Structure formats: C-alpha cells, structure tokens
Amino acid sequence: MTIEHPFRFGTQQRHAPDAAGWRSLACRAEDLGYSSLFLPDHFHDAWSPLVPLTVAAEATTTLKVGTLVIDNDFRHPLVLAREIAALDLLSEGRVELGIGAGWMTADYEQAGLAMDPPGVRIARLGEAVEILRGLWSEDSFSFTGSNYQLRQAVCTPRPHTPGGPPLIIGGGGRRVLTLAAQHADIIGVAAKLSSGVVGAETAATAVRHHYLERLEWIRDAAGPRFGDLELQVLVNLVYVGPDRKGFAESIAPLVDLSPEDILDAPVTLAGTVDEICDQLEERRTMYGLSYIVIQDSDQSAMQAFAPVVERLTGR
C-alpha cells in the first residue's frame, strides 16, 4: 500500500528561441498551473540550466525552478552548493535541485571526462549529497571522503530555505534508488539508463513490473521516512486526444514494445483528458506517483496537457 500525496505537475523544457520566449514560456507554465519548470543538464541539445532558471524565477512569482538533473560529475559540490544557494535566495525558496550520477555517454565524450562505472559514480553522488546538506546547514563544513575533501568550507550566501532546497534524486537501478530513498526529498522513478543512451533496452525497463519492483526497493530502503517522500515521474510520451490506441501503435515499432505495454508504462500518458486523469489516479494508487513532469521538446505538450493539470492539481 502506498501513501497518496496530492498531485502536482511540472514541465521539463530544453530552451527557447530567445530571452523573451523563455520568459514567456515560464510565465505561461505558471499561468497554466504547473508547479515547476525544469531544465536538464546535457551538452548537446539544451541550455546550461542555472542562468535560465534564474531568469525564469525572476519572471514569475510562484513557479518553482529546478534541474532534472544536474550531473554531479560536472561541478564540484562546493561550487554547486553556492550556486544553488544563491538561486534559492534570489527566488525566495522556489528551487528544487535534481542531481544525478550522470548517465549519458555522449556528455562525457564531449567533455573529455572519464566515465567511471555506475557504482563509482553513485558513491561519488552520495558524498556530494552529504556535502550539499552540510554546507547549507552549518556555518562551516569539513568533509573527508574517497572523492572529496573539504576543510572548513563556507557556503555564501545561505539558501533561503532552511537546510537548503528539496533534493530530487532518481533513476531506475537499485543502488541509486536506495541512495535516493535514504537522502532525497523527492524521488524520480525512471527507466534504467545503464547503456548510456536511450533506446529499446531502456524502453524495456519502463513497463509495469519494473516500476513495481522499484517501488519496493524504495520502500525497503526508506524505512519509516517512506511516507514523507514525494514520488516523481518524468513522462516522455504525451498525447492528448481521442485515438490513444493509434498513438501507441505509431510508437511501438520505434521502441520494440507492444502498444499495450506502451500505454501501460508510467512514462506514457495518452488519451482524452478524462482517460489521462483516470490513468494518473490508477498509477498513484499502484506506484505512489503524484509528481508528474511532462517532457516537452517542442513546447506544445505543456499547453495540451493543461486541462489535466487544472483538474488534478492538489487533489
């Protein structure tokens, strides 16, 4: 049995045509009732996140801004702690920091960085999370680990949110979800990205029984704090319209899944507004997923999905 948190919704964008377009996008997301606006952290097809998120926060009044997700290997945690604290201060507490161990091989290749095995990257992420929390909570913070060593480090400015903004950690493997269950405020439950690229292998891990297994991993690792965790899902396939079966059939050859599996996967939302609302209610009961983020590569899904946001937010 899961604890059902109220629904809220976010949108993940990658860029806009220009400054005016980006501010307009942020204001539109806020006006449509979205809780949050996220940017990813990849080198090839998205803006670097922190400056655009600052602009988005300045253009809005209630919209939360965040990352899905910052790659821990690209920034030292002391540097990141200061940047996020400044954004949280200037936005008056409207930041959600998604941080991950890194997964996209192309990012590491472009940067000329060694891509360590998953266990090494996840252990390094665990140290970084401990450092972020310490820097945001203490006047000075020292740390000695396998990857980082800090000596009386100070985070200036201090974040607006006591103890720092909420942390989002997610993934599809047991190690990273265990880390998330023990340390995050919000857990992004995702397909497994172990291959370093998104393809049929990833799609195969997005089906129902894998998500049920991930929920059990989270529950076991979280223990008594499980009820306080907000479970998030990034929805990659969004179709609002009458022909959900036709939509799934058009996608099936691309991901090597049956149309039925596609429609059943938590990373897909397809159908009329009524059908999608029913899907979300069922999935919250089954998986505990209440924080729904719509991936919107061309800025059209955010508008089409708005009636669902209006109907379910806060319920």
CATH number at residue 13: 3.20.20.30
pLDDT at 164 over 90: yes
Domain encompassing residue 62: 8-116+165-312
pLDDT at 45 over 70: yes
Q: Is 54 contained in some domain?
A: yes
Q: What is the pLDDT of residues 232-285, one digit of tens each?
A: 999 999 999 999 999 999 999 988 899 999 999 999 999 999 999 999 999 999
User: Which pTM does this prediction carry?
Assistant: 0.95
Q: Is 261 contained in some domain?
A: yes
Confirm if 97 and 49 have CB atoms less than 8 A apart: no
pLDDT at 1 over 60: no
Select the more confidently predicted residue: 280 or 192.
280
Confidence of residue 129 (pLDDT cuts 50, 70, 90): very high
Q: Is 48 contained in some domain?
A: yes
Look at residues 7, 13, 8 and name the one whose alpha carbon lies nearest to residue 295. Answer: 13
pLDDT of residue 199: 63
Number of domains in the chain: 1
Q: What is the pLDDT of residues 79-117, one digit of tens each?
A: 999 999 999 999 999 999 999 999 999 999 999 999 999
Q: Is 129 contained in some domain?
A: no
Judged on CB neighbours under 10 Å (0-12, 13-18, 19+), 296 is: buried
Looking at the chain, the whole-number percentage of residues with pLDDT higher than 90 is 90
Q: Is 60 contained in some domain?
A: yes
Q: Is 156 contained in some domain?
A: no
pLDDT of residue 255: 87
At CB < 8 A and 24+ separation, what contacts does 295-299 make? 295/12, 295/234, 295/235, 295/236, 295/238, 296/11, 296/12, 296/13, 296/238, 297/14, 299/13, 299/16, 299/25
Q: N- to C-terminal Cα distance for the chain?
A: 18
Look at residues 154, 102, 155, 147 and name the one whose alpha carbon lies nearest to residue 128. Answer: 147
Q: Is 85 contained in some domain?
A: yes
Q: Is 82 contained in some domain?
A: yes
